[in-house]
Amino acid sequence: MNDKQRVAHFAAQRIKNGMTVGLGTGSTANYFIEALATRVVTEGLQVKAVSSSVVSSLKAQQYGLPLLGIEHISVLDVYVDGADEVSPDLSLLKGRGADLVREKLLAKAGTEFWVLIDQSKRVQHIGQNFPIPLEVIPFAWQMVQREVSQLGGQGRLRPSGNGDGLAVTSHGSLVLDVIFPPELDTRTLNDKLNSISGIVEHGIFFGLTTTLFTGHDGRIIEQ
Ligand code: 5RP
In tens, the pLDDT along 115-164 reads 999 999 999 999 999 999 999 999 999 999 999 999 999 999 999 988 78
115, 213 contact by CB (below 8 A): yes
Residue length, the chain? 223
Average pLDDT, the chain: 95
pTM: 0.95
Can you name the residues that pair with 214 across neighbouring β-strands? Answer: 117, 221
Q: pLDDT grade, residue 98 (50/70/90)? A: low
**Which atom belonging to ligand 1 lies closest to the Cα atom of 118?**
12
Q: pLDDT grade, residue 99 (50/70/90)? A: confident
The answer to whether residue 170 scores a pLDDT higher than 90 is no
Average pLDDT score over residue span 204-218 = 96
176, 158 contact by CB (below 8 A): yes
60, 22 contact by CB (below 8 A): no
| CA atoms in the 13 A half-sphere facing the CB of 198 | 15
Q: Whose CA is nearest to atom 4 of ligand 1?
A: 82
Helix extents (H) in the chain: 3-13, 27-43, 54-62, 100-109, 141-150, 186-195
Choose, from 103, 135, 147, 201, the residue flagged as catalytic.
103
Is 85 catalytic? The answer is no
Q: Mutate which of 81, 85, 113, 204 to test ligand 1's pocket (most atoms within 8 Å of Cβ)?
A: 81
**Which atom belonging to ligand 1 lies closest to the Cα atom of 82?**
4
| CA atoms in the 13 A half-sphere facing the CB of 170 | 12
**Which atom belonging to ligand 1 lies closest to the Cα atom of 97?**
14
The answer to whether residue 7 scores a pLDDT higher than 70 is yes
Q: Give the CA angle between residues 29, 30, 34 to the nearest 5°.
A: 115
207, 110 contact by CB (below 8 A): no
The C-alpha atoms of residue 95 and residue 163 are separated, in whole angstroms, by 18
Q: Does the annotation place 28 within a ligand binding site?
A: yes
Q: Mutate which of 28, 52, 117 to test ligand 1's pocket (most atoms within 8 Å of Cβ)?
A: 28
pLDDT tens digit sequence for 174-192: 999 999 999 999 999 999 9
